[in-house]
Structure 1
């Protein structure tokens, strides 16, 4: 009798354990489904454009001051690309340069100087750009003053650059190209639109010290069939500042996005 009872109890325990083991995954799976239902799907939580945006860097063929042992020129390698002009056309190719050392009398800093062998617009790093000739737009005017517009065609689209701002004063100045208008502007804003689509505000500057925004380049650098832009945006006469805008990095509903910026100070 005792043997029979022991066998029966053992069978009951084994059966109970099996039932619990089979129920456990179901409860775990059910809990997992409940957690997932409370959260947004992964593709809604993250912006795909932001996820894949490259961290592009740019440099100019200029003199750079060192900060201790650090210098921006140290980032330049043979893997960098060069957007340059040759015989009236623009190309993306391998950077071809030499680096020399110098000294700044103004700041008392050691410097490193990038000497490009091309007529360089910007040197571009951390990029998967395709090398070769770049489709460009001839720039009719390089300064867009408040209340002015610049229209151009790219592909089948008509684009408009429009400026806003407060003009504090105006005067005629003499440059290498001859006499031209210069205006002292504050609260400057620059917009871009395509056809009849809403405008995108992409550049703002509160004030300038004897400088102004200058359009340096329009063309399809990233080869997505849409225009990219390079602007000189010095805020002070002792600064060289350039901004690269790429259409391929633009968020939904936008035309371009700032991809990189370089600002070089040479004040005393």
Structure 2
């Protein structure tokens, strides 16, 4: 019976994912003075169509908002210890926290108001929680330095910035074409987003996102700062390719392999209606 329910649930989610009303298309009007330059890409692997590989991301993550669908939050999530990225008075901090999960009515899936297959997630800290990360050894309570950067980097654009004394460049490759001759909307495909850092005069470049095509969606940088406390840049990026999918993905510098700038550790995919 449980297997039948899970199959039925996934069929419902897939149907909703494909059939929701599409949002109004976004008009791209870039205002940054640092963009619209062709990215100087040092690493271009045409064999990679999708990155990160989400099945390889082992750290559990829970995003903000909710309620969430039944399969989007693990049943035993409240038994784990978490670190939350919190915001108070305009400043960010990382703090260990317990979470409380409650079953609630899922207005999308549940057939009537008495059903409660959805999840509501609260923290033991009252400040606004931006994202939750499963407790791992390289995280600890701290004030989190952050920087405001450009949210979207389209193909052949770059954005330069300095964080903690290091020069960084976010730059993208791919194809961008107008939907039609009179449209301001661009369709993006074969997209790759790179992070470059200039350290001791040397350039280091990592591929951080690759997506072959989008359905009225675009990669969006949600947060930039030093989450893990090593003085280097960390990122939270919505790596969604579809307008009805949200997928905040956490990239940290501390667990990155030698010679790498950053590593994706966990993601939280959720669907809307």
Asked if Structure 1 and Structure 2 have the same fold, meaning a TM-score greater than 0.5 normalized by the shorter chain, the answer is yes
Alpha-carbon distance, 1:183 to partner: 3.1
Any unmatched runs of 5+ in structure 2? 1-56, 111-115
Q: Which residue of 1 aligns with 2:87?
A: 85
Q: More displaced, 143-152 or 182-191? A: 182-191
How does 1:97-246 map onto structure 2 within 5 Å? 98-108=100-110, 110-116=117-123, 117-128=126-137, 129-139=139-149, 141-169=150-178, 183-195=186-198, 196-246=202-252
**2:58–2:265: 8 Å Cα contact kept in structure 1?**
yes
Q: Could you say if the C-alpha distance between residues 76 and 98 of structure 1 is closer, same or farther in structure 2, counting changes exceeding 3 Å? A: closer
More RCO (CA 8 Å, sep 6+): 2
Alpha-carbon distance, 1:257 to partner: 0.8
Choose between structure 1 and 2: higher strand proportion: 1
Large movers: runs of 4+ above 4 Å? none
Q: Could you say if the C-alpha distance between residues 231 and 113 of structure 1 is closer, same or farther in structure 2, counting changes exceeding 3 Å? A: same
Q: Could you say if the C-alpha distance between residues 97 and 126 of structure 1 is closer, same or farther in structure 2, counting changes exceeding 3 Å? A: closer
Alpha-carbon distance, 1:96 to partner: 6.2
Alpha-carbon distance, 1:80 to partner: 0.8
CA distance in 2, matches of 1:225, 1:216: 19
CA deviations on 1:90-116 (whole Å, 9 max, x unpaired) are 100133654332233433371112245
Choose between structure 1 and 2: higher helix proportion: 1
Alpha-carbon distance, 1:223 to partner: 1.0
Q: How many residues align?
A: 202
CA distance in 2, matches of 1:89, 1:229: 16
Q: Could you say if the C-alpha distance between residues 170 and 133 of structure 1 is closer, same or farther in structure 2, counting changes exceeding 3 Å? A: farther
CA distance in 1, matches of 2:88, 2:187: 34
Alpha-carbon distance, 1:198 to partner: 3.8
Helix, strand or coil at the partner of 1:76: helix
CA distance in 1, matches of 2:157, 2:88: 31
TM (norm. structure 1) is: 0.68
Task: Report the structure number with the largest CA radius of gyration.
Answer: 1
**2:77–2:101: 8 Å Cα contact kept in structure 1?**
no
CA deviations on 1:36-94 (whole Å, 9 max, x unpaired) are xxxxxxxxxxxxxxxxxx94321013222225xx9426323462111022222110013
CA distance in 1, matches of 2:260, 2:145: 21
CA distance in 1, matches of 2:100, 2:185: 36
CA distance in 2, matches of 1:93, 1:81: 5
TM (norm. structure 2) is: 0.67
